Amino acid sequence: MSQLDALKRHTLVVADTGDFESMRRYRPQDATTNPSLILAASQMPEYAPLVDRALSGAKAAGSSSASTIAEALDRLSVAFGLEILKIVPGRVSTEVDARLSFDMEGSIAKARRLIGMYEAEGIGRERILIKLASTWEGIRAAELLEREGIHCNLTLLFGLHQAVACAEAKVTLISPFVGRILDYYTKKTGKTFTPTEDPGVVSVTRIYEYFKHFGYTTQVMGASFRNVGEILELAGCDLLTIAPKLLGELDAAEGDVPRKLDPEAAKAARIERIEFDETAFRRLHTADEMSLAKLQDGIDGFTKAVVDLEKALEAKLAAV
């Protein structure tokens, strides 16, 4: 048995990619996308028809260049999601524009727009997760969307305070970023961490145990891995979203994968409950140097990917 198959006994495996062939090869339950992944995929020749269809549909619907590009971005995100749903049996995560990360009303409007586009194609809400950044505004947007039956995946999550706020808001899923936490502490300390002491692994383990101990229904999906060791240390996490390169390493390696995260053990642990309002959330976030820095870095990175994708679409539109 490969380590990938062994891992699937404990954890739902999700593909972290916009590459359809990788999904077909590794047979994940769900798939996640983000602006960087869609930007990369949209520049590959095999996905040119998706880009062309998004642009032609947007051109027919839009009245100005700016509105055409905005429409094309939404259409392209949904187009990738629709193709992914032909491959995976579960759900696809589609991300709200990172430039709306601190705009609650804008995020809600964009989420409704994306869900409406999926529904127009015959896809039910149960198969879509709307990705929002784990800002206070993003969490509040997700809370309202969940009440409407629009399920959310809160991304760019680095601290326990963000995770607990998401759970209290009853969001469907959170995606704590393991590898980016490791990146931060490796740069800060110059230390090489083993998988068991990896700060990202420690963070996700703490979040998982907190959720299971207090009976939250929000699922934990570890994300942004740098190596297979991080993944194996989180075997038993509700879900893990894994890039094709690491899926390939797991698939090529044989051996058992013991469960590391156990809900029953978490229930028996001694854990202190955290309670806070917006003021306390912002205080905790400001005091957490790593979470503060990495959240903004993530928003900036995804924003750049969106802007670069817009430029690519504008260039293609001008050439038509």
> pLDDT per residue over 100-113, tens digit each?
999 999 999 999 99
**Which parts of the chain are beta strand (E)?**
12-16, 30-32, 92-95, 128-133, 152-157, 173-176, 219-222, 239-242
Tokens 């038509």, located at residue: 320
pLDDT band for position 59 (cuts 50, 70, 90): confident
Per-chain mean pLDDT for the chain: 95
**What confidence category does residue 2 fall into, taking pLDDT thresholds of 50, 70 and 90?**
very high
What integer is the mean pLDDT of 160-185? Answer: 98
- Are the C-beta atoms of 176 and 222 separated by less than 8 Å? yes
Is the residue at 2 inside a domain? Answer: no
Residue 183 pLDDT: 97
- CATH at 127: 3.20.20.70
Write down the pLDDT at residue 319: 77
Q: What is the structure's pLDDT at 168?
A: 97
State the pLDDT confidence band at 60, using cuts at 50, 70 and 90: confident
User: Is residue 277 predicted with pLDDT exceeding 80?
Assistant: yes
Number of structural domains (the chain) is 1
Q: How far is Cα 272 from Cα 292, in angstroms, rounded to an integer? A: 23
Residue 237 lies in a domain: no
- Predicted confidence (pLDDT) at residue 6 exceeds the cutoff of 90: yes
Is residue 3 one of the residues assigned to a domain?
no
H helix and E strand count, the chain:
15, 8
Q: Which residue is associated with the tokens 């009303």?
A: 105
Residue 36 lies in a domain: yes
Instruction: State the catalytic residues.
Output: 131
Q: How many CA atoms lie within 13 A of 25 on its CB side?
A: 15
112, part of any domain: yes
- pLDDT surpassing 80 at residue 64: no
The reply to whether 40 falls in a domain is: yes
Give per-residue pLDDT as tens, 185-207. 999 999 999 999 999 999 999 99
Tell me, yes or no, whether 246 lies in a domain: no
Is 7 within a domain? Answer: no
CB atoms within 10 A of CB 147: 10
pLDDT digits (tens, 9 = 90+) for 198-254: 999 999 999 999 999 999 999 999 999 999 999 999 999 999 999 999 999 999 999
Domain limits for position 37 = 12-222+263-319
Strand-pairing partners, residue 15, are 31, 242
Tens of pLDDT, residue by residue over 86-140, are 999 999 999 999 999 999 999 999 999 999 999 999 999 999 999 999 999 999 9
Label residue 34 by pLDDT band (50, 70, 90).
Answer: confident
pLDDT of residue 63: 63
Encoding tokens for residue 42?
């949209």
17: tokens are: 């990619």
Contact 234, 258 (CB under 8 A): no
pLDDT at 320: 65
Q: Which two tokens stand for residue 170?
A: 């009853």
